[in-house]
Amino acid sequence: MDGSRRWSPLKLSVHVRSYAFGERQIPERLGKKGLPAGVVAETWEFSDYEDTTGTVTQGPFAGSTLHQLVERYPRELVGERWHGLHFPLLGKFLDASHMLPVHLHADDTTAAGKYGLPNGKTEAWHILDCAEGASVLSGVKPGVGEDELVAAFKAQDYDRVMPRLPIHPGETVYVPGGTLHSFGPDTLIFEIQQTSDLGQSVMPVDLFGKRLDEAEWDANIAATLDELRVDVLPVPNHGLTRYEGDVRIVVGCAGPHFALERWNLAVPFKVPARPDRCQTLTNLGDPVGISYGGGVETLGRAESCIIPAAMGGFTLVPDGKAVVLACFVPDLARDIVAPLRAAGHTDAEIAALGEVTF
């Protein structure tokens, strides 16, 4: 029942959020099908977070939720040595047609101590497309104190206290939990993150644009400052390139919670079995075939799937040229450091990918 012949690529239902910062870039610019009318700010491609847990849409597990599979088959789905309450990765497309609110997410320590939850939310943004002049606000400028932060937040003068850096398509920004951040406008990203939705905002409006009263705004600012880290300054990273045969792999980010790679395919790419971990695939271009022991599955444009750990090896067969984002929880030494050193990259370059230990 749990052998590789039973397991196949898992496609899930998509959760949609209509926050005020979004418009229609995901269906119109990215080409994702099957979305509702109106604002589509985020599509959660694979998620096991509370009521957003995806439902399997086809195959032997059709109708089961991702959370049910994690509970029943943790080793077969996530990895032979994995233990946890939820699927560890959450991936989404995000439309920042307008600047995101300035906000942060709790780190693991805050999540455990303040909320009694198993983890916080470290995340990374892979820039798919953006207008000239798009930027990120990330972190707090050195030497800025709490009083100056509060004054800037109340004046909505975020550049006074936060570095602003330009972004370009193909770059990735790794954002540890506890880091104040925003990005946009006219920007389309893929976000990979820990399975969490904890957040605090310093804005005078909520995510849907509704004005807060003064007391609630002040309380949100105080809560944000209570969770704020000022020891990190995320910067956009163009990634590090390595090759497997004719396949160009760009490692966009890496840390203990996830890694993101961009696979550029013009020929079939054989991916070996990895019973120690699952991975997710997100297709950014034309359809890609996934040939595995049980058959062939097609991943369409702007579709995602989970490759269960027990599925075994598979081959990606592009229809022309394809670009696929692969995300996984890495063994940093084996999956990131060793292959990038072999490709000629320095430890300083590798460390800049996120939170890489040696």
pLDDT at 199: 98
pLDDT at 83: 87
Q: For the domain 240-351, what is the CATH code? A: 2.60.120.10
Q: What is the pLDDT of residues 5-40, one digit of tens each?
A: 489 999 999 999 999 999 999 999 999 999 999 999
Q: Do domains 15-227 and 240-351 have the same CATH topology?
A: yes
Q: Is the pLDDT of residue 4 over 70?
A: no
**Mean pLDDT in residue range 319-326:** 93
pLDDT at 1: 41
Sequence spans of domains, the chain: 15-227, 240-351
**Mean pLDDT in residue range 176-197:** 98
pLDDT at 180: 98
Q: Is the pLDDT of residue 237 over 50?
A: yes
**Mean pLDDT in residue range 207-221:** 98
Q: What is the percentage of the chain residues whose pLDDT exceeds 70? A: 99
Q: What is the pLDDT of residues 54-79, one digit of tens each?
A: 999 999 999 999 999 999 999 999 99
* pTM score of the predicted model: 0.97
**Mean pLDDT in residue range 67-94:** 96
Q: Is the pLDDT of residue 3 over 80?
A: no
Average pLDDT of the residues of the chain = 96
CATH architecture group of domain 15-227: Sandwich (2.60)
pLDDT at 26: 98
Banded pLDDT at 142 (limits 50, 70, 90): very high
**Mean pLDDT in residue range 85-113:** 98
Q: SS3 string of the chain?
A: CCCCCCCCCECECCEEECCCCCCCHHHHHHCCCCCCCCCCCEEEEECCCHHHCCEECCCCCCCCEHHHHHHHCHHHHCCCCCCCCCCCEEEEEEEECCCCCCEECCCHHHHHHHHCCCCCCCEEEEEEEECCCCEEEECCCCCCCHHHHHHHHHHCCHHHCCCEEECCCCCEEEECCCCCEEEECCEEEEEEEECCCCCEECCCECCCCCECCHHHHHHHHHHHHHHCCCCCCCCCECCEEEEECCEEEEEEEECCCCEEEEEEECCCEEECCCCCCCEEEEECCCCEEEEECCEEEEECCCCEEEECHHHCCEEEEECCCEEEEEEECCCHHHHHHHHHHHCCCCHHHHHCCECCCC
pLDDT at 102: 98
pLDDT at 344: 98
